[in-house]
Structure 1
Amino acid sequence: MTEPSYLAAVRESYDTVSDDYAALVKSPTELDPLSRSMLTAFAEHVRVSDRGPVADVGCGPGKVTAHLAGLGVSPFGIDVSPKMIELARSAYPDLPFSVGSMTALEIEDAMLGGILAYYSTHHTPPELLPVVFAEFQRTLAPGGHLLLVGHVGTGERRRPAHAYGGHPVSYESYRLPTDQLAQLLSQAGFTIDAQLVQEPDEDLKWKIASFLAHKPTTEQAVLTS
């Protein structure tokens, strides 16, 4: 498919901020306990189901990819920003990273045991999220797991001029309602196993939603049909 136009702005912006992003964004070990617990639960589900490797989609500088490896799964990272991939390969040379887009993953059908989309879908225009979730569904093996995490809101559309050290950026971001994201996942064929909403506090600036879901097996699909 033709690359969606918004990806050019995302690629250019993250190439621009990559060094400061890597320095400013926390590693998973520095996250709040609930955020860490969702990553741990996802890794355990993937290990138990044992359906294949894990794609960290929108991996940035690879910090979360490396954390997943430490939790006992076999991850690889994908990001639309070549600069981010350079940083990830430099920091974690034992892990595989590649440039790619979640709108058209260069991954065979039913190959993955897990997909992590960790604060990586919020730049996708809402009308294109079904395309992204369909790619997740296509590439996951039956019984494979998805962890989707991101900021949520009431449908806000943000156009920041600067980010991560004051560098100019041209991307847009969206904070969709939790219920809308849950509906889109269900419409894409996922079964949601757990949903966690974290309210803003002195540590969290914005509301965060985490969805732990799986792609049903043929037997599960028959039972629910």
Structure 2
Amino acid sequence: MKMRKIMSLGFCLLLGGCAGQITYTPPTNQLPGTNEKTVDKAVDEVWKTTVPALGKNFFVINNLDKSSGLINVSYSGDPEKYVDCGVIDSQVSNARGKREYRFPAAAADQSYEIMQGGMLYYLQRKMNLEGRVNLVFEPIEKNKTRVTANIKYVLTRQVRVAPAAGGFPQTFSDTISFGANSGASFPGQGQNTYCVSNGHLEREILNVAD
């Protein structure tokens, strides 16, 4: 429980003591807005070109149902390209000198240090994204189709905390989920890490439908 508290304090705006401080800047991106597009083709034509195009990209096609106009695809991997979780800036200073770590909070893998109560801790932070997408095709007119990308973002954060002075490291894992036009915060004390879509995944998927 003590180490969980230390890990949570790592995301507060200011840690006590003159030997270290950490700041967290929340996401600056606006919510991505539209998650749909209109294609000037019949729905069968759009479907016919979209399915192979999805397969050529990095998306995994999980399910196809042409009768309902639904394609379910997914993405798993580095979240930084598709999610904005703000920026973390940690500064520590001791006999080894001053070190500063500044990195996107959505970074897939980051090692850094924090000071708390005059003690130094090493942190290894990993982030993974699962993007779950329902791509819906709706005929508007004979030669006009609406394509909508409904995306659920599932983010998992794993943090390993090790005291520099020795002792057993501990690892903590948390998962949050949110939609394209919303966001969510990881649990913690003080300033929680807040994450939102940056709109890139929506645009990449919709660009495939043509």
Structure with the bigger RCO (C-alpha within 8 Å, sep 6+) is: 2
TM range, normalised to the smaller chain? under 0.3
Greater share of helix? 1
What is the TM-score normalised by the length of structure 1?
A: 0.21
Q: How does the TM-score come out when normalised to structure 2?
A: 0.22
Larger Rg computed on CA atoms: 2
